[in-house]
DNA sequence: ATCTACATACCGACTGGTTGGTATGGTGTC
DNA sequence: GACACCATACCAACCAGTCGGTATGTAGAT
């Protein structure tokens, strides 16, 4: 309710000009819960509190919204790499472990609350929509590239197994997270994802010789 | 047209009594490519070479087929644990590493060829169908429980970090595989999944002190 | 062996509801 | 009053599921 209403004002009019952002946020929410194909345009509109007219004014198609939402998701993740306290630590390995700890700390509460929009969407869209797949690929790549510098620095400082690269390990971290999301969906519980990330933490510590 | 045809007989009639199995196999194929929601009953029927009449003769609903297909998938995986050469090895750690190597060896060729029916389906059905979610949970649990005895034996023989359990590690292995499938879908390439499993192999070796 | 009675397996046109997308009209802002 | 922004009404395509019917097998009585 943004406007004054004495009794239960019906439609709770949304501020003009915010429809695009609201639609993207609604897409994140709905797609994370149901996947891309199962989410209808009407559902997204209802969740966003706008009508179809607004939807197709801002986006050419459902697919176009998906691509825009993927880009927005990447932007949403950016603060993880420069705004959080652990990013100020001196030691690159501390920064890396701090990042994983942070991801671990997110794995609580209902499953819809921590799963990945990109990972969910790519599962049922990669074969049917190349634009969506490419947007998802770009988003994952951006995450891994943001993680790589600290890994690289840790490798320089502490050494690393032969044949391992920074991007390699970054992708493995992402892989464990995505796998944890999938398993959490099977049990409808976050514990199984935390377990897996705990193994990941142990692995990273062992690689760099930190007990 | 069930009768004899001289030139290119069109529909290639399927043997009577095989419809149920064909439908399940078709569901595995189609759902792995597109997810559950995006796959239509007609698509499954076409892929199976039967009609809708046959579909609803054997299954009460699309959801019922999904549950049956999940159970069939579990059965399909069973030979992995008792028919393969590495399962005859003496050392439990060798059996475990052999299993992971085997999973690694499957990660080649087109993405649809190696991804997991269960992991794909649970992503867009866990919130909308409790029966499907439960069937997926059971399938994953069965896999982990089949893997656990060798891990347990390896822990007894070689020791293991405090607080780690066999089921724990089994679930982590499954998690890395599922995560690899997701990442492979973003790049539409199997390499990224192999990378991640290579990290997993290194982790398991490090845990049990085998260099 | 043949006939009757019934069960199982399958076919494909049809239906009521849903979907992504469109056409058109209204409303606030510069 | 022009233009971006959004609402409402609508449509053709598509969807899961239904239904009347056919084809094939089979068990028992004669």
Whether residues A39 and A123 share a domain: the answer is no
Query: What residue numbers bound the domain in which B100 lies?
Result: 74-207
Strand C nucleotides below 7 A of a protein CB? 9-14, 18-25, 28-29
Question: Among all residues of chain B, which has the CA nearest to that of A36?
Answer: B124
More reliable by pLDDT, A88 or B184:
B184
* Chain B residues touching A128 at Cβ < 8 A: 34, 38
pLDDT digits (tens, 9 = 90+) for B159-168: 999 999 999 9
Provide the mean pLDDT of chain A: 90
Q: Is the CB of A131 under 7 A from strand C?
A: no
The answer as to whether B80 is a domain residue is yes
The answer as to whether B32 is a domain residue is no
More reliable by pLDDT, A109 or B18:
A109
B62 pLDDT band, cuts 50/70/90, is very high
| pLDDT number for residue B17 | 65
pLDDT digits (tens, 9 = 90+) for A192-203: 999 999 999 999
Whether residues A56 and A93 share a domain: the answer is no
Whether residues A107 and A140 share a domain: the answer is yes
Give me the CA B15–C1' D27 separation in Å, rounded: 24
The answer as to whether A158 is a domain residue is yes
Whether residues A81 and A170 share a domain: the answer is yes
| pLDDT number for residue B16 | 66
Residue A3 has pLDDT above 50, yes or no: no
How many angstroms away from the CA of A72 is the closest CA of chain B?
A: 17
The answer as to whether A198 is a domain residue is yes
Element (H, E) at B66: helix B62-77
Residue A2 has pLDDT above 60, yes or no: no
Whether residues A137 and A35 share a domain: the answer is no
- What average pLDDT does this structure show over B203-207? 96
| pLDDT number for residue B9 | 31
Q: Which long-range contacts (C-beta less than 8 Å, at least 24 apart) are formed by B52-61? A: B54/B19, B54/B23, B55/B23, B57/B19, B58/B19, B58/B20, B58/B23, B59/B23
- What is the domain-level CATH number for residue B110? 1.10.357.10
| pLDDT number for residue B204 | 97
Q: How many domains is chain B built from?
A: 1
* Chain B residues touching A185 at Cβ < 8 A: 122-123, 126, 133, 136
Whether residues A186 and A104 share a domain: the answer is yes
pLDDT digits (tens, 9 = 90+) for B95-125: 999 999 999 999 999 999 999 999 999 998 9
- What is the domain-level CATH number for residue A57? 1.10.10.60
The answer as to whether B50 is a domain residue is no
| pLDDT number for residue B210 | 87
The answer as to whether B12 is a domain residue is no
Give me the CA B64–C1' C9 separation in Å, rounded: 19
- What average pLDDT does this structure show over A106-117? 96
Provide the mean pLDDT of chain B: 90
pLDDT digits (tens, 9 = 90+) for A8-64: 333 344 666 677 888 899 999 999 999 999 999 999 999 988 998 888 888 899 999
| pLDDT number for residue A183 | 98
pLDDT digits (tens, 9 = 90+) for A76-88: 998 888 889 998 9
Give me the CA A92–C1' D22 separation in Å, rounded: 74
| CA A9 vs CA A18, A138, B9, B54, B143: distances in Å | 20, 43, 66, 51, 53
Q: Which of B33, B172, B179 sits opposite A177 (nearest CB)?
A: B179
The answer as to whether A5 is a domain residue is no
B6 pLDDT band, cuts 50/70/90, is very low
Helix, coil or strand: residue A75: helix
Residue B11 has pLDDT above 70, yes or no: no
Whether residues A123 and A26 share a domain: the answer is no
Whether residues A158 and A192 share a domain: the answer is yes
B5 pLDDT band, cuts 50/70/90, is very low
Neighbours of B195 (CB within 10 A): 22
Q: Which of B178, B193, B206 sits opposite A206 (nearest CB)?
A: B206
Question: Among all residues of chain B, which has the CA nearest to that of A188?
Answer: B126
Whether residues A39 and A84 share a domain: the answer is no
Whether residues A119 and A153 share a domain: the answer is yes
| CA B148 vs CA A29, A89, B153, B174, B210: distances in Å | 36, 39, 9, 12, 19
- What average pLDDT does this structure show over B122-141? 95
- What average pLDDT does this structure show over A105-122? 96
| pLDDT number for residue A83 | 85
pLDDT digits (tens, 9 = 90+) for A155-179: 999 999 999 999 999 999 999 999 9
Whether residues A104 and A179 share a domain: the answer is yes
Q: Is the CB of B56 under 7 A from strand D?
A: yes
How many angstroms away from the CA of A16 is the closest CA of chain B?
A: 32
Please give the DSSP secondary-structure letter assigned to residue B161: -
CA dihedral B177, B182, B185, B190 (to 10 degrees): -20
Q: Do B195 and A168 count as a contact with CB atoms less than 8 A apart?
A: yes
Whether residues A112 and A50 share a domain: the answer is no
| pLDDT number for residue A16 | 64
B70 pLDDT band, cuts 50/70/90, is very high
The answer as to whether A109 is a domain residue is yes
**In the block, which residue shows the tokens 């759902």?**
B31
């Amino acid at each position: 309710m943004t406007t004054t209403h004495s009794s239960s004002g019906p439609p709770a009019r949304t501020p003009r000009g915010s429809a695009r952002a609201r639609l993207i946020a609604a897409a994140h929410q709905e797609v994370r819960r149901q996947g891309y194909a199962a989410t209808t345009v009407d559902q997204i509109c209802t969740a966003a509190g706008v009508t179809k007219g607004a939807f197709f004014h801002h986006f050419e198609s459902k697919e176009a919204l998906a691509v825009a939402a993927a880009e927005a998701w990447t932007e949403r993740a950016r603060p993880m790499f420069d705004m959080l306290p652990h990013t100020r630590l001196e030691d690159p390995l501390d920064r890396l472990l701090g990042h994983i700890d942070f991801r671990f700390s997110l794995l609580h509460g209902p499953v819809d609350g921590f799963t990945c929009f990109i990972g969910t969407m790519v599962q049922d869209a990669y074969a049917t929509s190349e634009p969506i797949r490419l947007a998802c690929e770009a988003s994952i790549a951006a995450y891994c590239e943001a993680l790589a510098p600290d890994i690289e620095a840790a490798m320089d400082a502490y050494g690393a197994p032969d044949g391992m690269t920074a991007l390699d390990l970054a992708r493995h971290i992402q892989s464990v997270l995505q796998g944890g999301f999938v398993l959490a969906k099977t049990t409808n519980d976050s514990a199984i994802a935390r377990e897996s990330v705990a193994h990941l933490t142990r692995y990273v510590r062992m690689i760099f010789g930190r007990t």
